[in-house]
Amino acid sequence: MLLILAVTFFYMKTVLFDVQKYSSHYTAAFGMAKRLSDSDIKVVFIGEEKFATQVTNEGFIFISYQLGVPKLTSEGLSLFRILGLHKFDEWKLMVERYMKVVKEINADIVLLDEDVNYRLIWYRCFGVRAITFSTKPFNGPDASVPPYTIAKGPKKSLPSTLLNSIFWAFEFSKNVYRFLALNLNSLGQCYFTFSHRLGREHNIDFLPQITFRSAFKWSFLSGPKLILAPSSFDFRGSYPKNVYHLALHGSSRSSSQTLTQRYRDLLDEVKSRRCVNPATKLIFCSLGTMTSLFEPRVKSFFLKLRKLAERRSDLIFILSLGGGTRCDFLYPLPTNLNVFHTLPQTHVLQHADMMINHGGMNSVLECISFRVPQLVLPLSKQWEQNGNAAKVSHFGIGLGADLNWISETELNNKIEWIFTHHDQCKSNLESLNKEIGKERSENNVTEILNRLISDESF
């Protein structure tokens, strides 16, 4: 077995990452990329130019490619356009150009972000080996636990199992609805339909290979699935054999972002105040990089945070706006509320006593890694944030709440609860970190990829 792995490793030289076009997804993939790079494997990322600096700062090769999506033009909705006949030719040409660039990279395998898993059919059509990885928890159905889009923990009872079955049925209905709405809104000219037609041209039937019975969106039934998040931080007790948990999600996120003098001065001030009063608490608040999509509710919450800061002069707040949100609506700022447009999150977590976040997988796992209790306020009902909020409460490492309905009083009470139970949260975080570390050491991503590359069944 060792000889087979050694021979396979000799031939495996390049891994190509094809990632969804969000900064947080690139960040999530860096842990796995670094582990591969440390094993003398060449790691290459392909994506839009705006991610080049983020990738190269981590020490990886970046190939810039703008994967444009053909859209309806001012030429009008002719019968050919309504039927998608003309646009399909444009789409196919776009895919062919993209795959030409991919083939020139000559990767041994492509690691494809599951959020763009429709591209898997492209790779299969053009004979490029690819497997999916997920920045979210495993999304397959299991009646013993709710979908990760639901802010509910598991209970071993018949009513709970029945309720979970209803939740999963609802997820199935939502996925089918999204599929139908996508096709109707685009007049049949969407990535799903075009990928299906491309597959049929290459004698690959797309539809039998997918299922809508999953959390968040449809997924492929067969083929290996790499999950970056640890199974230790999940409700499930078992997984399909083709699912591999790597426990590498965000584990290599660097603090390479320049530390501004204002931020350095703030840390010095916090240090000085702690010398005078060791009970001084620093609360870091960041709701991620996509706050602009939820601006009204985000601004409403930030105003509540501002009012709380006015009341609680004993607390120091650091607020990272993210997503291009302006801060002028918060003026005048209380002296203990320090607002920044962006900050190196892992650096702040080294100094924070707790974090208020949106439940994104990066933020939640980074809080766990740095042993920081957290209050999770999900931005969206569609993503894994709700499930993460439930898990944070379940594992005793913080609390969850509803961003839309949380009041200033409830916010204060949640913060007080976390600080009252701070030692217990820290102890639970320590135990959880040990489990994640053990899982990470047992699941060697290099060996897993070597086995998968030698497997001709997918």
Query: Comparing C-alpha atoms, which of 335, 325, 393, 334 is closest to residue 359?
Result: 393
> Does residue 363 contact residue 287 with C-beta atoms inside 8 Å?
no
The helix, strand and coil proportions of the chain, stated in percent and rounded to the nearest 5, come to 50, 15, 40
What CATH code is assigned to 261-437?
3.40.50.2000
Residue 183: the pLDDT is: 78
Q: What is the CB-side half-sphere exposure of residue 213 using CA atoms within 13 A?
A: 9
Residue 196: the pLDDT is: 85
Cα dihedral sign, 175-180-182-185: negative
* Residue 332 preceded by cis peptide, ω within 30: yes
Q: Do domains 2-246+443-454 and 261-437 have the same CATH topology?
A: yes
Which H or E run includes 245? strand 243-245
**pTM for the complete prediction?**
0.89
Q: What is the pLDDT of residues 27-50, one digit of tens each?
A: 999 999 999 999 899 999 999 999
> Does residue 292 contact residue 321 with C-beta atoms inside 8 Å?
no
**C-alpha distances in angstroms, 345 versus 7, 56, 224, 367?**
40, 19, 32, 10
Phi/psi of residue 63, each to 5°?
-105, 115
Two tokens, residue 195: 């990928």
Amino acid symbol at 426: K
What CATH code is assigned to 2-246+443-454?
3.40.50.2000
Rounded CA separation 252/45 (Å):
16
Edge-to-edge strand order for the sheet containing 398-400? 337-340, 315-320, 281-286, 354-357, 374-376, 398-400
**C-alpha distances in angstroms, 254 versus 236, 251, 411, 429?**
30, 9, 30, 21
> Does residue 223 contact residue 458 with C-beta atoms inside 8 Å?
yes
Residue 415: the pLDDT is: 98
Domain regions of the chain by residue span? 2-246+443-454, 261-437
Name every residue whose Cβ is closer than 8 Å to that of residue 180 and which is 6 or more positions away in sequence: none
Query: Comparing C-alpha atoms, which of 192, 173, 195, 175 is closest to residue 183?
Result: 192
Residue 12: the pLDDT is: 53
> Does residue 175 contact residue 217 with C-beta atoms inside 8 Å?
yes
Which residue ranges of the chain lie beneath pLDDT 70?
1-12, 68-86, 250-257, 323-324, 456-458
> Does residue 93 contact residue 198 with C-beta atoms inside 8 Å?
no
Query: Comparing C-alpha atoms, which of 89, 55, 53 is closest to residue 70?
Result: 89
Q: What is the pLDDT of residues 422-444, one digit of tens each?
A: 999 999 999 999 999 999 888 88
Residue 250: the pLDDT is: 62
